[in-house]
């Protein structure tokens, strides 16, 4: 059927077009995609065995849906991706404010137009991308905003009495008839406004002011809510909750690989950054581990959540730190260094909600401790465990590295302004470190080796085998007891 050629109601009937509700559209197109083994929610990772099956069951059941989860859990993205399950085009009576179906009109305008023009009633085709409406629930939202109200200016212009339903100005929900309508942060909506949604969800109609008119709207509602909102700012009134067919719990990525996939997909990497900044896999793992540490931290409010946006912003900041450093040193190509991770601290401090103990420590200190914890957590997956207690004469794989620092004639410093060549030359001075990497990570990519070497130094600091001092120009590593003994 070539839809573009169908311009009137008569042609639509002749073509044998059959109307269906939006929930039937979603259901039928989902069935088709499942049978064809197509990915329904592209670009959403980590939900394949949890959220997405529940969402698909809700669509098959023709339910209105509430996505309940902490911030940064792709709730709004899931809602927007549902648009892909709609038919590509639907017919609409031309001039209708509420997207009237020509075969099943509900507004006075559409009904009177069809009575007057019959089969010559003009129609247009609405694309599925236009069938999505979204409203962020804020305390100032009114019933008039979302349902509608009497418009005195329209009454005056058309010389109509207030008793005439043509003076009604439709709100966002009627204007989204035959669309997916999303209300974000539902608990923030005042209770009296939530009450106004009862009839729409249950009977599919609305009432405006004192008018007897009823509009049987055809809509798919999706709500999003944060469990923390239930206690902090507001709540979903029980009768409204009862009318929402499916409540689906979202969650954060459960492993580093999934989190990495999301970050790489979402991070806004400038093309110039992609060209000359290399990022070792270990650096990407470490970045995600920092976010995992934040979600477990005693200083961060777990109820508030740690958004996936933290790792995305942090990755962007990490690249920019390396880029800025390379611009100063004049390098055409550079590799992310572990010291560059100091540049992601502003991304962390702005995205975590600290508890009282965290406030006492200070946001910067908490962020710095997360980086250190992440280094310590990842280290045993690459290298032999460093035991807290060791026997007096027992040898460890790290003895040669520690001895090098003990016997070093001068302090070992990695300066921020070091060019790529200077940085590598400085690290290459630690010959036992080179041997250690070759023994324990023999298949290590040459380009990633230097990041790995610096990673070992940071880990030895966390296990109290070396000490590290951050100063304005860079970072200094030394044996924790060497200076004490030489002083004696």
220 forms beta bridges with 180
Taking residue 446's Cβ as centre, other Cβ atoms within 10 Å add up to 6
Does residue 267 share a domain with residue 245?
A: no
Does residue 278 share a domain with residue 204?
A: no
Does residue 290 share a domain with residue 410?
A: no
Q: Return the percent helix, strand and coil in the chain, to nearest 5.
A: 50, 15, 35
- Report the run of H or E that residue 310 belongs to, with start and end: helix 308-329
CA distances from 165 to 93, 154, 238 (A): 19, 11, 32
Does residue 352 share a domain with residue 216?
A: no
Residue 441 per-residue DSSP state: -
- Residue 207 to residue 213: CA distance in whole angstroms: 7
pTM of the model: 0.85
Mean pLDDT of the 317-322 span: 93
Q: Report residue 11 as tokens.
A: 């042609």
Does residue 461 share a domain with residue 325?
A: no
Residue 128 per-residue DSSP state: G
Q: What is the CATH number of the domain that holds 371?
A: 1.10.8.80
Separation of CA 80 from chain center: 13
Query: Is 243 a domain residue?
Result: yes
Say if residue 484's pLDDT is above 60.
no
Closest Cα to residue 404, out of 436, 376, 452, 372? 436
Mean pLDDT of the 5-21 span: 91
Cα angle 228-268-331, degrees, rounded to a multiple of 5? 130
Report percent pLDDT > 90 for the chain: 56
Mean pLDDT of the 302-316 span: 89
Does residue 228 share a domain with residue 274?
A: no
- Give residue 368's domain range: 263-381
Query: Is 426 a domain residue?
Result: yes
Residue where a domain terminates, one of 221, 249, 277:
249
Tell me the per-residue pLDDT of 259-299, one tens digit each, with 9 for 90 and over: 999 998 888 766 667 778 999 999 999 999 999 999 999 99
Does residue 377 share a domain with residue 428?
A: no
Tell me the per-residue pLDDT of 404-448, one tens digit each, with 9 for 90 and over: 988 887 888 999 889 999 999 999 999 999 999 999 888 888 778
Of 314 and 168, the structure prediction assigns the larger pLDDT to 314
Does residue 316 share a domain with residue 240?
A: no
Does residue 289 share a domain with residue 222?
A: no
Q: What is the CATH number of the domain that holds 204?
A: 3.40.50.300
């Amino acid at each position: 059927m070539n839809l573009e050629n169908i311009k009137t109601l008569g042609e639509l009937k002749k073509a044998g077009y059959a109307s269906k509700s939006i929930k039937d559209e979603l259901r039928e197109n989902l069935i088709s995609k499942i049978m064809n083994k197509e990915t329904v929610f592209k670009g959403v990772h980590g939900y394949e065995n949890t959220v997405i099956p529940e969402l698909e069951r809700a669509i098959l059941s023709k339910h209105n849906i509430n996505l309940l989860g902490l911030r940064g859990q792709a709730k709004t993205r899931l809602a927007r991706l549902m648009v892909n399950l709609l038919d590509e085009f639907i017919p609409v009576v031309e001039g209708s404010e509420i997207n009237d179906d020509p075969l099943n009109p509900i507004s006075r305008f559409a009904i009177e137009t069809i009575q007057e023009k019959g089969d010559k009633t003009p129609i247009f085709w609405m694309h599925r991308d236009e069938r999505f409406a979204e409203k962020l629930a804020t305390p100032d939202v009114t019933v008039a905003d979302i349902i509608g109200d009497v418009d005195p200016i329209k009454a005056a212009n058309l010389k109509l009495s207030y008793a005439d339903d043509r003076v009604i100005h439709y709100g966002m929900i009627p204007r989204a008839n035959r669309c997916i309508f999303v209300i974000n942060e539902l608990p923030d909506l005042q209770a009296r406004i939530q009450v106004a949604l009862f009839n729409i969800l249950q009977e599919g109609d609305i009432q405006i002011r004192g008018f007897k008119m009823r509009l049987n709207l055809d809509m798919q509602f999706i709500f999003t809510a944060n469990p923390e909102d239930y206690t902090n700012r507001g709540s979903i009134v029980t009768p409204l909750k009862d009318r929402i067919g499916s409540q689906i719990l979202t969650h954060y990525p459960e492993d580093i690989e999934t989190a990495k996939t999301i970050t790489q997909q979402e991070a806004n990497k400038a093309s110039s950054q992609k060209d000359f900044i290399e990022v070792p896999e270990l650096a990407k793992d470490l970045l995600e581990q920092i976010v995992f540490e934040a979600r477990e931290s005693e200083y961060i409010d777990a109820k508030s959540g740690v958004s996936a946006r933290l790792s995305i912003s942090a990755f962007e900041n990490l690249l920019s730190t390396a880029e800025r450093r390379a611009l100063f040193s004049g390098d055409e190509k550079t590799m992310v260094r572990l010291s560059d991770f100091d540049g992601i601290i502003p991304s962390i401090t702005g995205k975590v909600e600290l508890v009282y103990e965290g406030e006492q420590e200070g946001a910067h200190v908490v962020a710095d401790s997360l980086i250190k914890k992440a280094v310590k957590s990842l280290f045993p997956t690459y290298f032999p465990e460093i035991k807290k207690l060791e026997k007096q004469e027992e040898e460890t794989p790290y003895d040669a590295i520690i001895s090098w620092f003990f016997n070093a004639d001068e302090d070992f410093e990695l300066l921020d302004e070091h060019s790529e060549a200077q940085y590598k030359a400085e690290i290459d001075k630690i010959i036992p470190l080179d041997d250690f990497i070759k023994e324990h990570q023999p298949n290590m990519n040459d380009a990633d080796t230097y990041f790995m070497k610096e990673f070992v130094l940071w880990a030895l600091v966390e296990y109290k085998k070396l000490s590290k001092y951050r100063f304005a120009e860079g970072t200094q590593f030394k044996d924790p007891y060497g200076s004490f003994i030489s002083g004696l």
